[in-house]
Structure formats: structure tokens, C-alpha cells
Amino acid sequence: MFLYERLSFYWIECVKNEKNKIFLSFLSFLSHIYKLFVLRRREKILALPKKKFNLKVIGVGNIVLGGTGKTPLVIWLTKKNLEKGLRVGIVFRGYAGEARGTLLVQDGKNILSTPYVAGDEAYLVSKKVPGTIVIVDRVKERAIEFLQNEYNCDIVILDDAYQYWSIKKDLDIVTIDAINPWGCGYMFPRGFLREPKESLARANVVVISRFDLIDHKDLLKLMQEIRGINPNTKILLMRYVFKKLVDMSLYREYNLNVLNGKRIFAFCGIGNPDSFFLTCKNLGINIVGSMSFPDHTRYSEKDLLRLYNKSKTLNVDAFLTTEKDIVKFNFLKSPNFLLYALSIEAEIFSEGNKDV
């Protein structure tokens, strides 16, 4: 695991900082192969009839690897539809989870799985949005049929569905991060693009996350670029609001001021760790050290020990992480240190900065 971490972070560092030109040349060669594979697969699937369902299907996805705000958007969409009195089902792929086949994570009343089986995203959404039906299944057609037949859902939200071309969706939503919208400008593995940016031409809605962290002129330029690809798409703006801290249960809440005057160590295992550390800095939290783990990390007792040893050498008062990370600590031996997570809420606006 430690070797995998080092290789992952070295690859990310080379891509982001244009380091090791020989290595980057090799990655460019692999990117061309990957791009051809993606385009040919997409062309083949799009040529086939799409599966249609007798309920509303919304796809949420991205064209860039890593954190672009899909999970906060899924939570926001779910809450909005629950407020309308609709029965909502959510389908996750279950990244880094052990689930095979169709796994019922939440039945609308109770959570029936763990983050290590269901995956951290499915488990987190189940905790944050009670009353929903949450499913993990890599075969999304099968999951939709299950939600329709067993739970009579009115609407299904598909997470990470932009590259799932075989289903007829009523709405295809793409999230892009304002700070690095095009994944360093290259296809994976030379960059972080999953598809060429021209694939935004399929999107009904493009949601620009963290729009508030870039200059207004850069935001206008980005919106203009999106319009150049897809003149008919609706553009929404999403920012994150951090008003409180939570503990491992996600239910016990604390004011942010409990961190005032404290020496804090920040860590996370998410797709875009820099965004979390930047958020901590912008909130004025005194971060004396930080550590990144690979996305969807399965934390172990060894990881607890690594964090604890860091706290001793840096005289740390408490640790701070994301909600997606902290839920996994419920299933380990209780850590010997104070541990909080920043609770995240999404606020979404139209282009005119009006609430949606």
C-alpha cells in the first residue's frame, strides 16, 4: 500500500508540475492509446439503442479524474427532490468497496452496510440524506430496475454516469472544478481528462464547482469556453459552505471556533486533496501539518499509528479531515486523538448568481 501511495503521488506531482520530461513523454504515448480506446468504445455504444425506463433518470458525472464536486451535488439534488415529496433512489458504483452485484446500502429507513463494503461515497450519502434508497451496482440498468420494481422510485440519480452511455437519461449533468477544469489539459495518464473536453457537447447541465475561488474574469472566460463547446447547455455555479464540524457519527456537531488557537493536522484520502487543504487555509485554521492518502483509502490501524506519531512530533491538538474520510474511522479502533471533519454543504446558483 505504501508503494502504491508513493507511485500515485509521484505521478500526480509529475503531471501537475511538468516534472520528468521522459516520464511525461511515456505518459503522452499512453494517453493517445487511452483516448483511442475511449472514443472507439463510446462510438460503439452510442450506435446501439439506449435503454429507457419509465421513471426520471438523472446522471451526474465528470470528464476529469478526481474531486469535481459530484458527491455534494448528488446530496443537493437528492434533498431538492425529497422536498418535492418524490421517492428518490441513488445508484453508486461503489469505488474501493467490496460489493458485487446489487447491494442495498440504505432502504429508506436504515443503513445496511459499511463504507468498506459499499464504498465511502454511498455510505456518506446514506448518512447525510436519510429517507433515500441507496444502491451500489456497477450495472446501472439492473440497479434502476431494482429501484423501480422493489421501491417504486419516482426518480433515480446515477453517480458517475457521464461515461455510462447505454442508458437514456432525462438529464446529463457534468461537474467541473473551476480551479483545474480541464485536468491539466491532457487525457489520462498524461493528464486527468477521462474524455476530451469536447465531450461536454452531450451535457444538458454543466456545474462549475468552487467558482468563488477564481477571479470573475477567469470565470467568465471558462463559461465562454464551455459555451463554445455546447451553446445550449445550462451553466450552474456551485460553491461549498463550511459552517460546522462533525465527529465520526456525523450527527454530533461542533462550531468551527472549537479549533481557535489549536494546532491542527489535516489529512484526507480524496480525489483532490489540495482543495481540502486550501479550504482549511481559507477558513483560517492553524494547520501545522498535513498528509494525503490515495482516493478512497481503506484506513488501517497502521494509518492510525502514522497519524498518531505525527501528532507527537508536531504537538498537535486535533486532527481534521473530510466527511468522506471520517465515516471510515467508525469501523476501526477508536483513535487516540481528537478527530473532526469539516461538514460540507453545496450552494448552487444560476449564471446570474440567483439561487436555483
Consecutive H or E run containing 134: strand 133-136
326 by DSSP, 3-state: which? helix
Which of these, 163, 161, 172, lies nearest to 207 by C-alpha position? 172
Pairing of strands 205-209, 264-268: unpaired
Pick out the residues of the known binding site for ATP: 64-71
- The H or E element containing residue 46 is helix 21-46
Dihedral of CA 162/167/172/173: which sign? negative
Q: Which residues contact 45 (CB under 8 A, 6 or more apart)?
A: 165, 166
* Residues in a beta bridge with 174: 61, 206
Q: Which residues are annotated as a binding site?
A: 64-71
- CB-neighbour burial class of residue 132 (10 A; exposed 0-12, middle 13-18, buried 19+): buried
Looking at residue 347, its amino acid is E
Cell numbers standing for residue 145: 430496475
Closest CA to 60 of 211, 200, 269, 205: 205
